[in-house]
Copies of this chain bind each other. A is one copy, B any other.
Amino acid sequence: MNFKEVQQIIDSDLKKVSDTIRSFLDSKISFIGQVASYLIESGGKRFRPTVHILSARACGYEGERMYTIASTLEFIHTATLLHDDVVDYAELRRGQPTANILWGNEATVLVGDFLLARSFYALVGDGDLDVLKCVSNATTRMAEGEILQLLQTNNPEITFNEYLEIIKCKTAVLIAAASECGAILGKKDSQIRQRMHNFGMKIGIAFQITDDTLDYIIEDKTLGKTRGQDFLDGKVTLPFILAYEKSEEREREVLKSLFLKEEKDQRDFDKIYNILESKNAFNESFQHASRYVEEAKEEISFLESSYRDYLEIIADYILERKY
């Protein structure tokens, strides 16, 4: 069974999430719906809603509140994509022009703000302070992660732990909130909440490591990404860090000077790719991702539900994306 097949099992839930998303976008300002749904309804995998629904079901929850929570998680994720594209001057996402290209930076920033605010308004309507705390904490840390990443741009000496902190914040905490909120809905105790949180955090870390490694390896038209985009943007990610760590002083100077070059081109990318490949950095990077996926599955071994199997399939899917 694969990711898509798991999603088919919760197909009616995911449809209700889509209905809820549409109802939240039903502003008298139709432009907001137009910009937001461009991103929300085009090619998104609904990864966070899927993790939340499976987690809630795995924890025995059977009500309707998960549609609200899943929708707000998708809103918050979309808000960060909108703001990221402005921050990164991105022109393509999932193979389509970005919102900032179509509607300008102004509208893109403001629709992102709307989605953030609307999310909290919806969660306040749900009225659960534990959920609110979990999600508002995640959102705060996400902003911190984006800022940390910005501050570390063009720093080739960033350490593994600094990198880990950035990807935890910018990606993993929201996925951790998705799974933890499932445990909150299931009224589980704090120990189980923590394990569900850890599950989401670990698959989130694996997700971002895989993304960052694939950025060096494949031209991904479905992600709308050029190969080597992170390198061109001055973003230091795990393969570089692993190669840098095991390099001697002279090799480090080569890596640094390639990274810090003002106008990098395809030949610079090819050079850095070959060095990283010679250091086995890509394989090792994927091995880190695999380790996090294994640890994530370990976290939910206590679950006695067919939904545990589905969560494991979601976890494994993260690694399969490399093929």
For the complex formed by this chain, how many copies does it contain in all?
Answer: 2
Check if A147 sits within 8 Å of B110, measured CB to CB.
yes
Query: In the complex, are the beta carbons of B117 and A150 less than 8 A apart?
Result: no
Q: A117-B136, A124-B132 are in contact. Are A147 and B111 (CB under 8 A)?
A: yes
Contact between A87 and B105, CB atoms less than 8 A apart: yes
User: Does the CB pair A29–B139 fall under 8 Å?
Assistant: no
CA of A150 to CA of B105, assembled, Å: 11
Q: Does A83 contact B (CB under 8 A)?
A: yes
Q: 1/0 contact trace for A83-99 toward B, CB 8 Å? A: 10011000000000000
A138 and chain B: residue at smallest CB distance: B117
* Residue ID in chain B nearest A131 by CB atoms: B124
In the complex, are the beta carbons of A121 and B137 less than 8 A apart? Answer: yes
Which residues of A125-145 have CB atoms within 8 Å of chain B's CB atoms? 125, 127, 129, 132-133, 136-137, 139-140, 142-144
- Given the known interface contacts A124-B129, A133-B124, the answer about A144 and B109 at a Cβ–Cβ threshold of 8 Å is no
Partner of A139 from the list B105, B110, B117, B148 (CB cut-off 8 Å) is B117
From known contacts A29-B151, A31-B151, infer whether A117 and B143 are also in contact, taking CB-CB under 8 Å: yes
Considering the chains assembled together, what is the distance between the CA atoms of A113 and B146 in angstroms? Answer: 10
User: Is A27's CB within 8 Å of the partner chain B?
Assistant: yes
Partner of A150, one of B110, B118, B140: B110
Do residues B29 and A144 form an inter-chain contact, with CB atoms below 8 A? yes
Is A106 an interface position by the 8 A CB rule? yes
* Interface check A114, CB cutoff 8 A: yes
User: Which of B114, B127, B147 is the one whose CB lies under 8 Å from A29?
Assistant: B147
A141's nearest neighbour on chain B, judged by CB, is B117
| CB contact between A110 and one of B32, B87, B121, B137 (< 8 Å): that residue | B87
Chain B nearest Cβ from A314, distance in angstroms: 26
With A116-B113, A140-B114, A143-B117 known to touch, is A86 a contact of B107 (CB < 8 Å)? Answer: no
Give me the interface of A with B, judged by CB distance under 8 Å.
27, 29, 31-32, 79-80, 83, 86-87, 105-107, 109-114, 116-118, 120-121, 124-125, 127, 129, 132-133, 136-137, 139-140, 142-144, 146-148, 150-151
6 examples of A-B residue contacts, CB within 8 angstroms: A29-B148, A110-B143, A111-B147, A113-B143, A120-B139, A129-B129
